[in-house]
Amino acid sequence: MERLEVELRMAKEQIARTISPVALSQKNYNLCMHTLITINLVTDLRAERKKLRTDKTDLLRHVKQLCSSLHDKEQELRDFIRNYEQRLRDNESTALKMTSERERERWSLMKHARDEAERSLVLAAQLNARDLQLQRTQEQLQEARRQLSGCMSDQESLISMPPPLTPPASGILPHLGGAFPGSTMGGESTLRGNSDKDSAAGDLNLSDGPCENGICLTMDPDNISLVSSQHNMYQYGTPVKERSPTLSPLNSSTFSRSVDNADTSLGSRSVEQLGASLDGDGSSFLGRRLTGKGTGTLGRSGRGSTWGSISKVFARSRQRARNASQESESTTVSECGWSPLTEEGYAEKLRLLREASAAPMERWRASQVLAWLEVALGMPQYSVRCSENVKSGKVLLELSDAELEAGLGLSHPMHRKKLRLAIEEQRRPDLVRYPTIGQLGHTWVASEWLPDIGLPQYAESFLHSLVDARMLDTLSKKELEKMLGVTRKFHQASIVHGIHVLRIIKYDRQELA
């Protein structure tokens, strides 16, 4: 192309140089001009062609760039699609794993719940067996008490009977063989007439006048009873007016075991005291003579009939004591005013108590207030009045002491104080100094804490007043003396030091264990 342009330019210069316009004819001149114009057009076409070629090159380069960009985008799209599909597969596998894991957890929870249900049934059966065993043990204990009372009555009857004239080599009372009738009375007479027959029978004659061989005692065998036997019969039972009617189903078994242990130890002490009385006053007892009504003074020949009459009297006395104890127990049960919770009812109370612990008292329902009063505080004797007059926890928070006494029947000041302390603790739980103080109820105080500090004799009064750990922490000297009957200074000091130890360990029962 460049060569052609050079040739055209040279031809044009040669024509212009050799041929003048004058010499040429008009026709040739036009032809030359047309040739020059054609040459110029060709030159312009060539320049335009060159420009088009340059544009083509640019367009091709731009197309190549677009193709490379498109290829990159396609590669990115393929990578994105591949990653997306991979993520979908991963998510599906993760979802399958989570589903299978949740299924396994669900089955494990169901299995655990089934195992726990079976375990609860086993524990319930064991608890029933323990209750039956405890009931049988209590029956055996009462039978042992009756036998002990009979043994002591028989021993005292042997003491009261006249000995043989010649002391045996080995007998029931060998250490009293030297005592003979005719010795004087060394102490107060252990025989007394039955009080319920004194008005009808006037045959009892407790005279200390001299008889033929010694002191003569004339009485009706049907009216005879032993003071010591009567005392030993009644010392095992707690009077009805002193029993606490406020035992809850949660703490009655523990305190009954402690009372049974105390009764057993008391029975052993009574036997020791009986043996001591035999050693000290046996000679004076042997100096007595029993003279039946219209039979005269009894000698060796009348021993069998007297023994039969006394045995009948003792049998009647034991029967009366047994009837009195049964009436006392029935009266006590009727005065307590609560019935033990069933297993379902107790489980429902615990469920309501757990729900109440997760919410403030203002939001408690009436059933939650009732469960808190019966289970947490151990005051089921006030549940009937509470269900009638307290419909929510907000109502309970707004009650004053006078309204508590009128609405719930809290006439006992210690019971009222216990409920007030528990309500104030629920009102401001953030101000509680000892978080575990509510776990130590009045049963623990009466059956464990008081014996641990050496004061088990106050267990009945503490239990009757429902003294728990909150009340111990705020106990005053006036309440100790007036309400709980602790009047001795050393006993008060023991209780104060015991409370100080509880404050040191922050009323944590685990620290005591």
pTM: 0.38
| Other beta carbons within 10 Å of 294 | 6
Tell me the mean pLDDT in the region 374-401.
Answer: 92
User: Which pLDDT band, with edges at 50, 70 and 90, does 6 fall under?
Assistant: confident
CATH of domain 342-430: 1.10.150.50
Indicate the burial class of 404 (C-beta count within 10 angstroms; 0-12, 13-18, 19 or more): buried
- Domain assignments of the chain as residue spans, ordered by start: 342-430, 433-512
* Per-residue confidence (pLDDT) for residue 509, from 0 to 100: 86
Higher pLDDT, 91 or 179: 91
Q: What is the pLDDT of residues 313-352, one digit of tens each?
A: 445 555 555 555 444 444 333 334 444 556 778 888 899 9
3-state secondary structure of 210: strand
Tell me the mean pLDDT in the region 168-195: 37
Per-residue pLDDT averaged across 435-454, rounded?
Answer: 93
Please give the pLDDT value at position 289. Answer: 35
**What percentage of the chain carries pLDDT values higher than 70?**
58
| Helix or strand (DSSP H, E) at 224 | strand 224-226
CA-to-CA distance for 245 and 248, rounded, in angstroms?
A: 9
Measured CA angle at 204 (ends 199, 210), to 5 deg: 155
pLDDT tens by residue, 101-121: 999 999 999 999 999 999 999
Predicted confidence at residue 2, as pLDDT, reads 65
Per-residue pLDDT, 15: 64
Let me know if domain 433-512 sits in CATH 1.20.1090.10. no
CB atoms within 10 A of CB 291: 19
pLDDT number for residue 59: 94
pLDDT on residue 217: 37
Q: What is the pLDDT of residues 56-98, one digit of tens each?
A: 999 999 999 999 999 999 999 999 999 999 999 999 999 999 9
pLDDT tens-digit profile of 261-308? 444 443 434 333 433 333 444 433 333 333 333 333 334 334 444 444
Give the pLDDT mean for 401-414.
92
Q: How many CB atoms lie within 10 A of CB 493?
A: 10
Q: How far apart are CA 513 and CA 511, in angstroms?
A: 5
First to last CA, the chain: 115
Q: Is there a shared CATH topology between the 342-430 domain and the 433-512 domain?
A: yes
What's the whole-number average pLDDT of the chain?
A: 71
pLDDT over 70 at 449, yes or no = yes
What type of residue is 71? H
pLDDT at 208 over 70: no
